[in-house]
């Protein structure tokens, strides 16, 4: 297989694009694709300040690498979740993220959830009614709240996450199975900002997971290979496996699914009576917009944790 650009030996063959490239041209092609999607979906400009949510994984570190190579003003934000039993997932992902930032002279914000809330994600999940003890729902709530808080407090224009096409297609698949119109309306490359809520963008939303993996490996980015231990058995992983089977038999199926959805939404398929009309007000504790009466969900969860553990000393000694 030869590189379409130069005829040298190709190292990546993308059946879904009918395109094979050598290392040099692949490392040029991915950033060019990302730049194309940033422009196409009006994500941000070179004048705006971008906050990249980095987890230590291949997608978010590669996104940060690509944005800085493209000349954007992109700083990183790492949230230490305190998930450290067994594999030391949080400690290791923080170490790799900090190493990445230091090696490139990039600015990284680190927020320790235990210091912010008094508890790690597994501890918060323990005292929350969300997710019946499984931490992912609590984790999602905390991430949304803290990413938005830092973007607002430090003055970033936009929050960028490393969701790739496989992530987006799996979420879309799940929401389509249940016709969750409210979620479908909010899914897309850009979620516009509102007062108090930062604009959210996904510059990798049209790049396959295996394309990002190839980029990280060929670029020599050191990232955490292990998944979060709580990811095991997640429905989204099951949906990814189903979509992978479709993709294997019909290269390009995932991309077609996602792009057809965007086109259907653009042409008004989900509009009308399903438009989101939520009244938001500022949470009296943290000031972030919320539709809940009184405190926002994040502040209510932290308050509940404090009430439940009042008088109990915390024996944990997490590193990060």
Q: What are phi and psi of 286, to 5 degrees?
A: -105, -15
- Minimum gap (Å) between residue 5 Cβ and ligand SF4: 37
Q: How many residues bind ligand SF4 (CB under 6 A)?
A: 8
CB nearer to ligand SF4: pick between 120 and 288: 120
Is 152 a residue that touches Zn ion (CB under 5 A)? Answer: no
The backbone region for 196, taken as left when phi is positive above 0, alpha when psi lies in -120 to 50, beta otherwise, is left
Burial per residue of 212-246, b for 16 or more beta-carbon CB atoms within 10 angstroms, e otherwise: bebbbebbeeebbeeebebeeeeeeeebbeebbeb
Of positions 221, 286, 289, 304, contacts Zn ion by CB under 5 A: 286
Bridge partners, residue 111, by sequence:
79
Taking CB under 6 A as the criterion, which residues in 134-153 touch ligand SF4?
135-136, 139-140
- Minimum gap (Å) between residue 202 Cβ and Zn ion: 25
Is 296 a residue that touches Zn ion (CB under 5 A)? Answer: yes
Residue 140 interface partner, choices ligand SF4, Zn ion, none, CB cut-off 5-8 Å depending on type: ligand SF4
CB nearer to ligand SF4: pick between 140 and 294: 140
Residue nearest to Zn ion (CB): 283
User: Among 311, 304, 319, 320, which residue's Cα sits nearest to residue 123?
Assistant: 304
Q: What are phi and psi of 284, to 5 degrees?
A: -65, -15
CB nearer to ligand SF4: pick between 73 and 127: 127
DSSP H helices, the chain, are 23-40, 58-69, 89-104, 113-117, 121-126, 136-154, 165-177, 181-186, 209-219, 235-249, 253-266, 297-309
CB nearer to ligand SF4: pick between 14 and 81: 81
Taking CB under 5 A as the criterion, which residues in 243-282 touch Zn ion?
none
Taking CB under 6 A as the rule, which mask of x and - marks residues 221-240 in contact with ligand SF4? -------x-xx---------
Residue 68's Cβ-side half-sphere holds a number of Cα atoms within 13 Å equal to 17
Asked if 2 contacts 11 with a C-beta cutoff of 8 angstroms, the reply is no
Task: Read off the DSSP letter of residue 127.
Answer: T
Give the whole-angstrom CA distance, residue 126 versus residue 156: 33
- Minimum gap (Å) between residue 320 Cβ and ligand SF4: 14
Residue 230 interface partner, choices ligand SF4, Zn ion, none, CB cut-off 5-8 Å depending on type: ligand SF4
- Minimum gap (Å) between residue 223 Cβ and ligand SF4: 14
Is 292 a residue that touches ligand SF4 (CB under 6 A)? Answer: no
Could you tell me the sign of the dihedral formed by the alpha carbons of 229, 231, 232, 237, in that order? negative
Is 285 a residue that touches Zn ion (CB under 5 A)? Answer: yes
CB nearer to ligand SF4: pick between 141 and 201: 141
Indicate the burial class of 302 (C-beta count within 10 angstroms; 0-12, 13-18, 19 or more).
Answer: buried
- Minimum gap (Å) between residue 303 Cβ and Zn ion: 9
Is 299 a residue that touches Zn ion (CB under 5 A)? Answer: yes
CB nearer to Zn ion: pick between 54 and 299: 299
- Minimum gap (Å) between residue 307 Cβ and Zn ion: 16
- Residue partners of 87: CB distance under 8 A and separation at least 6: 226, 229
CB nearer to ligand SF4: pick between 67 and 139: 139
Asked if 241 contacts 254 with a C-beta cutoff of 8 angstroms, the reply is no
Residue ranges that bind ligand SF4, judged by CB under 6 A: 121, 135-136, 139-140, 228, 230-231
Residue ranges that bind Zn ion, judged by CB under 5 A: 283, 285-286, 296, 299
């Amino acid at each position: 297989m030869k590189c379409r650009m130069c005829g040298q030996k190709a190292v990546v063959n993308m059946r879904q694009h009918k395109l094979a490239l050598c290392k040099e041209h692949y490392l040029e092609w991915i950033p060019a694709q990302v730049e194309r999607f940033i422009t196409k979906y009006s994500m941000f400009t070179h004048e705006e300040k971008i906050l990249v949510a980095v987890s230590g994984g291949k997608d978010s570190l590669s996104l940060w690498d690509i944005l800085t190579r493209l000349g954007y003003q992109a700083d990183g934000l790492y949230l230490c979740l305190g998930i450290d039993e067994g594999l030391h997932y949080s400690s290791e992902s923080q170490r790799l993220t900090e190493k990445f930032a230091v090696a490139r002279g990039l600015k990284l914000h680190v927020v320790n959830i235990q210091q912010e809330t008094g508890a790690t994600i597994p501890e918060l999940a323990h005292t929350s009614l969300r997710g019946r003890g499984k931490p992912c729902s609590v984790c999602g709530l905390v991430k949304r709240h803290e990413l938005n808080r830092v973007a607002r407090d430090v003055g970033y224009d936009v929050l960028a996450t490393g969701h790739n096409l496989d992530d987006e297609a799996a979420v879309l698949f799940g929401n389509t199975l249940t016709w969750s119109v409210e979620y479908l309306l909010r899914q897309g490359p850009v979620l516009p900002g509102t007062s108090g809520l930062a604009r959210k963008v996904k510059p990798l939303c049209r790049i396959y997971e295996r394309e990002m993996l190839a980029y990280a490996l060929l670029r020599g980015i050191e990232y955490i290979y292990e998944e979060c231990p709580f990811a095991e058995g997640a429905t989204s992983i099951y949906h990814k496996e189903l979509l992978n089977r479709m993709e294997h038999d019909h290269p390009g199926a995932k991309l077609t699914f996602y792009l057809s959805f965007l086109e259907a939404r653009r042409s008004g398929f989900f509009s009308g009576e399903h438009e989101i009309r939520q009244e938001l007000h500022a949470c009296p504790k943290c000031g972030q917009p919320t539709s809940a009466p009184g405190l926002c969900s994040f502040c209510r969860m932290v308050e509940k944790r404090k009430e439940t553990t009042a008088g109990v000393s915390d024996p944990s000694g997490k590193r990060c």
